[in-house]
Amino acid sequence: MNFREATAADVEAIRSMARESVTASYTSFLSEETIQDALEQWYSDEATSDLVESDDTVILLAENDQPAGFSQSEVVGDGETVGNVHWLHVRPDERGAGLGSRLLTRTREALLDAGAEGIRGFVLEGNEGGNRFYEEHGFERAGTRSITIGSDTYTENVYVEAADADAEWRAIEERELDDGTSVFVSYGEAARGSKAPFYSAYESTDETERYGWFCGNCDTVDNAMDAMGRIECNVCGNKRKATRWDASYL
């Protein structure tokens, strides 16, 4: 899976992913008319082009053979600088394999690199899956705010990272290696690398026996760790380097 900042050439793909994601996630509590109003308000051709071209907005695209999802975020604040994650969109047929967790991890990294001192996430109150996602990833609800969709007003929950640094992310994906061996990659246990995070890989889903490290840049476990804990991928050269926030990934 490749992650990169979106460009003007990605506008139609972004609109398509947003349409699929919103339709799949919101039909249980929003009418079809309201969903169409939301898509036109947030992801019209003009609105999406403005987002991609804005210096204040970060659109991070996840793609495999084709675009699979994206995040929309920004860094705000004159005093305390905060990274706001407004949307995490994943195509319905790409869900269930940890992509949302990987996208949140990479978005968080981008916001911290841009100067954010903390991360906030926003989810419509009626989106049970979205609220559960943040709670399972070490965030806690800090308040609410109102947003307008079409002519109606809705409540959006505001999440911040929990003070407990030991909060666990529980996104596990089974990956088959070239030799047929299956490993289980925990996207909640990430160590920052020079090109992309390294994720803990285990021999089974109970996470008792570590297999090694999975490179998030080239999706391999072909890497080496020295006695000081430094990791280098033998395929793409991705390297682990110490940072101030590795522990808060966990």
In the chain, the domains with their CATH numbers are: 2-161 (3.40.630.30), 172-249 (no CATH)
Q: For residues 64, 185, 132 and 80, what is the CA-based torsion angle, rounded to 10 degrees? A: -80
Cβ neighbours of residue 166 under 8 Å, at least 6 residues apart? 250
119 contacts 108 by C-beta, under 8 angstroms: yes
Q: Which of 196, 248, 238, 240 is CA-nearest to residue 83?
A: 248
Q: Tens digits of per-residue pLDDT, 35-79?
A: 999 999 999 999 999 999 998 899 999 998 899 999 999 999 867
- More reliable by pLDDT, 199 or 245: 199
Residue 170, CA atoms < 13 Å, CB-side half-sphere: 9
Counting every residue written for the chain, the total comes to 250
Q: Tens digits of per-residue pLDDT, 74-91?
A: 999 867 889 999 999 999
The whole-number pLDDT of residue 236 equals 93
